Structure 1
Amino acid sequence: MKNIITLALILVSLVSKGQGLNDQPAKTTWQMLTYDAGNMLTGIGYAYTRPLHWKGKQWQTMGAVAGGTGFLYLFDDHTSKFLRDRRDNVPSFIRHYGEFIGNPENNYTVTAGVYFTGLFTKNEKLRRTGVLLISSASATGLLQQIMKSLAGRARPISGQSKDTFDPFNASRNYHSFPSGHAMMAFTNAYVVGKQFKNPWVKAGIYTVGLIPGISRVWDGQHWLSDVGLSVAMSIFTVEAIDRYLDSKYDEKYNDQNKFVSWNLTFGPGQVGVIARF
C-alpha cells in the first residue's frame, strides 16, 4: 500500500516537472501554506455557491444530468444484478484497487503528499494541483455525506429494492446515494487529466478513475445511478474550483480554456456519454 502511494507521488511529481514547473522563491514556506489553506477553504465555498449564479445553459446541463441519473435509475435492478453476477470474473487486483483508491484515508494521504511535495519544492503548479485535489475532495466529500443521510437509499447488499429510501437512517446499509468512493476516485482522475492535452491520455486517466465506482456496483455497495451522479458532481466541483484558482495562481494547466461538454445519448438498445474537452 505504501509502495502504491509512493509511486503515485513520484509519477505526479515527474509529470508536473515535465510540463515546466517553476520555482516561486518570493514567499516563505509558511506564507505559501497559509495562502494555499485559505484558497482551499474559499474554493470550497465558491463551488457550493455556483448554483446561485447559474444561467440557462448551466441549468440545461443540470437537467441533462438529472435526466441521465433518472434513466440509469430505471435499470438499477438489472445493472446491479448483471455486474454483481460477474464480480468473480474481475481480477482481484482491480477490485482491490477500486476499494483502496476510493477510501477517504488513502485518498487524503495521496493528495496531501502531492500538495506538500509542491510546497517544500516551491513548485507553484504542483502546489496548485494539490490545492485543487484537496479542496475538490473535501467539497464533494462533505456534500455526499449530507446527501447520503438525506436520501437514506438502501444499498443493493442490504437486500432491499432500488426504490427503498429511509432518510436519516444511521445504518450504513441506507447510505447508498451517492457514492463517496466514486466521487473521491473520479475527482482525482479528473484533476490529473487536466495536466494533459492529449484527449486519449485524458480518456485513459478518466477510465481508470471510473474503476472504483464500478467496483462498488460489483460489490453491491451502490447502484449504477449512484455512481453516475457522483461522477457528474465530481466534474462540476473540480471545474468550479479550478476556475476560482485561476484568479489565485499564475500557473495554468496547459493554458487551455476551462471548457468541458458531457452529453448523454440515447438510442434503440443503447445509452452512452460523449465527452468533449
Structure 2
Amino acid sequence: MTKQSNLARRTLATISVLAFAATSPAYAQSTLPDAPSAQAAPSASRSHDPQNIDDLSLKGTPKRIVLDEVKIVTSPARLRSRDLVWLLPVAGATAASLATDSYTMRNVVSRNPDFNSAATTSSDVLRGAFIGVPVVLFGAGELTHQAKPREAGLLAGEAMVNAYATSEAIKYITLRERPNLQNARGHFFQGDAASDPSFVSGHSIVAWSSAAVLASEYSKPWQQVGIYTLATGASLTRVLGQNHFPTDALLGSVSGWLIGKYVYRSHHRR
C-alpha cells in the first residue's frame, strides 16, 4: 500500500468519525421536542402515559434507545457552520494524533508486559466503575423514590448502550489494526483487524458517555473534576496498555461525551 493511499484511507476514516460527532449538545435541543419547563408541572396524562418515551419508565427505555440511535446515526445531515467552533479543533487534534500514532506506540509507550497488563487492568476497573455506578444510582433512586439518582442511573445506562452500539459500528466499518499488529502501523480497512478492530476505543466511548451524564446530574465543580478525571484515566490507560492508539482513545472519548450530553439534554426532567 502506498503512503498516498494510506493517507487517503486515514483521512476518510477521520472524516467519517468527525461527521458522526455532529451529535453535539446543540442538537439535543434543536432536534427534539422541548421538555416541560421547570415552572410547569407535567399533566397527569403525560406523567402516567406508559407510551410516552419521556416518562423515563423502564418500559420506555428500549424505545428511547432506538430513537436516540437513529438521531445519532443521522446526525451528519444536521451539521451547521456553527459546529466548526468545536469541529475544527477536534479535526486538528485528530490529524496530529493520526500522524504520530505509530511512533507513539512504538517509541513512547512502554512495551513492558507487566506495565501494559497493569494499565489494561486499570482501564477495565475504571470502565467497570462507570457501568456500576449508574446501576447503583438507579437502584438507590428506585428504593428511596428519589428522582435525581434514578434519572442519573437510567440515562447513563441508556447513553452507554447508544455509545457501545455506535462504537461497534465504527469499528467494523473502519477495520483498523490494533497496536500489537504489524509493528503498530495502525492501518485502516485491513482484513487482519476483522476479529478485533481498534477504532474507536470501546472503553473510552462507554466511560465518557456515562461520565457526561453523571457530570451533568452532579455538576458541582469538584464532582465534575472527579468524574472527568476518572474518565480520562479510562482512556489513557487503554493507550498505556498497548490496547489502542491515541487517536482511538481521543475520538472514543469525544464521541462518548457528545452522546452522553445528547441523551441527558434530550431526556433530563427539568
TM bucket normalised to smaller: 0.5 to 0.7
Please tell me whether the aligned partners of residues 65 and 162 of structure 2 are also in contact (alpha carbons under 8 angstroms): no
For 1:86 and 1:167, locate their aligned partners in 2 and report how far apart those are by CA, in whole Å.
Answer: 26
Matched, 1:68 2:93: yes
In the alignment, what sits opposite 1:189?
211
For 1:97 and 1:55, locate their aligned partners in 2 and report how far apart those are by CA, in whole Å.
Answer: 39
Post-superposition Cα deviations, 1:86-109, rounded to whole Å, max 9, x if no partner, equal 7756894x6523123336xx7655
CA distance change for structure 1 residues 47 and 162 in 2, over 3 Å: closer, same or farther?
same
Tell which has more relative contact order, 1 or 2 (C-alpha 8 A, sep 6+). Answer: 2
Where 2:169 maps in the other structure, the secondary structure is helix
Post-superposition Cα deviations, 1:187-243, rounded to whole Å, max 9, x if no partner, equal 222222223444344223211111122111122110001101111101111121112
In the alignment, what sits opposite 2:138?
115
Gaps of 5+ in 2: 1-46
2:249 to 201, 221, 227: 227
Per the normalisation by structure 1, the TM-score is 0.66
Matches within 5 A, 1:167-182: 167=190, 171-173=194-196, 175-182=197-204
In the alignment, what sits opposite 1:150?
173
Post-superposition Cα deviations, 1:146-190, rounded to whole Å, max 9, x if no partner, equal 1111111111112344342235656445x1111001111222222
CA distance change for structure 1 residues 120 and 137 in 2, over 3 Å: closer, same or farther?
same
Please tell me whether the aligned partners of residues 120 and 243 of structure 2 are also in contact (alpha carbons under 8 angstroms): no
In the alignment, what sits opposite 2:125?
100
Please tell me whether the aligned partners of residues 217 and 223 of structure 1 are also in contact (alpha carbons under 8 angstroms): yes
1:42 to 67, 71, 78: 67
Higher strand share: 1
Higher helix share: 2
Please tell me whether the aligned partners of residues 176 and 198 of structure 2 are also in contact (alpha carbons under 8 angstroms): yes
Please tell me whether the aligned partners of residues 205 and 253 of structure 2 are also in contact (alpha carbons under 8 angstroms): yes
Per the normalisation by structure 2, the TM-score is 0.68
In the alignment, what sits opposite 1:264?
none
Matched, 1:134 2:134: no
Please tell me whether the aligned partners of residues 157 and 210 of structure 2 are also in contact (alpha carbons under 8 angstroms): no
What is the percentage of aligned positions where both structures have the same residue?
Answer: 20
Matches within 5 A, 1:240-259: 240-246=262-268, 249-250=269-270
In the alignment, what sits opposite 1:82?
108
CA distance change for structure 1 residues 214 and 172 in 2, over 3 Å: closer, same or farther?
farther
CA distance change for structure 1 residues 158 and 90 in 2, over 3 Å: closer, same or farther?
closer
CA distance change for structure 1 residues 163 and 38 in 2, over 3 Å: closer, same or farther?
closer
